[in-house]
Amino acid sequence: MEQRTLVVLSGPSGSGKTTLQRELSRYGVGIIPNCTSRPRRKDDGADYLTLPRWQFVRPFRWWHTFLWIVRVGPHLYGTRRRDIASVDDVGAICLTPDLHVFGRLQDACDDRNIKLVFVFLTPPPVCELRRRMMERGTRPKEAFERALKERTWYPAALEQEQRGMVRWHFIAPGTPPQMANKLFAALDWFPDLNGGSP
């Protein structure tokens, strides 16, 4: 079986993970959804799948269904095993930089001959971060404060790279096409544009 690739997009809130994931989908990269128990939002796309809370909390079911589950505030998030197995050629998923989650994901991908590529989106300047959080419209002040705290993930990712814990590809802020091109260059992989948008 030809080896497939799963790109893990990570970084703090407001760094552009979802925006880049949706841009990559224009070039034939499959979107691997995250599951959540929170109510669906109007801007949710194929990157989020809302499930009943009971599917996350039944021990037998979650162990066989999910690779991992985390709690963020009152809501639960996770990634289903079958969604990882469904990667076709190249896929992309957005995840927080959690080494425990990465370890479980690595085991699942090794079993399925899927190559993992870790991409960290560096945070934008604070003024730009504030603008992005305000545009989200959902408790913007709280979102901005959380995003500021998450900026510490960047130096942590640099340390992980230096210590050989995670092989990160760092992508600087830019427009969605610019970030996609940086990612393609870092991976030395360029999509076939004949069947997709230029």
Residue 190: per-residue pLDDT: 66
Residue 194: per-residue pLDDT: 43
Low-confidence ranges of the chain (pLDDT < 50): 193-198
Residue among 164, 161, 9 nearest 90 (CA): 9
Residue 195: per-residue pLDDT: 42
Structure tokens that stand for 150 in this block: 């998450």
Instruction: Write down the CATH superfamily of domain 4-32+88-186.
Output: P-loop containing nucleotide triphosphate hydrolases (3.40.50.300)
The domain spans of the chain are 4-32+88-186
Residue-wise pLDDT tens digits, 129-186: 888 888 876 677 888 888 899 999 999 999 999 999 999 999 999 999 999 999 998 8
- How far apart CA 119 and CA 6 sit, in angstroms, is 11
- How far apart CA 195 and CA 198 sit, in angstroms, is 9
Judge contact between 169 and 120, C-beta under 8 A: yes
Residue 146 pairs in a beta bridge with: none
- Count of C-beta atoms within a 10 Å radius of residue 50: 14
What are the strands, taking DSSP E only, across the chain? 4-10, 30-31, 34-36, 48-50, 66-72, 75-80, 90-94, 114-121, 168-171
pTM of the model: 0.86
Judge contact between 90 and 28, C-beta under 8 A: yes
Structure tokens that stand for 39 in this block: 């109510």
